[in-house]
Amino acid sequence: MNIKRIFGTILTVLGIGGLIYTGVMVVQQSNQVRELIVVGILGLIFFSSGISLIRNTKDKE
């Protein structure tokens, strides 16, 4: 069981959730601009760090 891969998967899922939430709120034309910017940036950071953790972790045999 590789903890880094599991943590990377969790970060990726959280990032996707944040990006989807931001996209839905933009389509609904929400007036909370600051919240959308913060959630979008955090979603992007979580997504990119999760993907890099998954990609850079080597399998142990």
Query: Residue 61: pLDDT above 90?
Result: no
pLDDT in tens, 4-60: 888 999 999 999 999 999 999 889 887 888 888 999 999 999 999 999 988 888 777
Distances (CA, A) of 27 to 12, 36, 41: 23, 11, 17
User: With contact defined as beta carbons under 8 Å apart, do 22 and 36 qualify?
Assistant: yes
E strand spans, the chain: none
pLDDT in tens, 2-14: 888 889 999 999 9
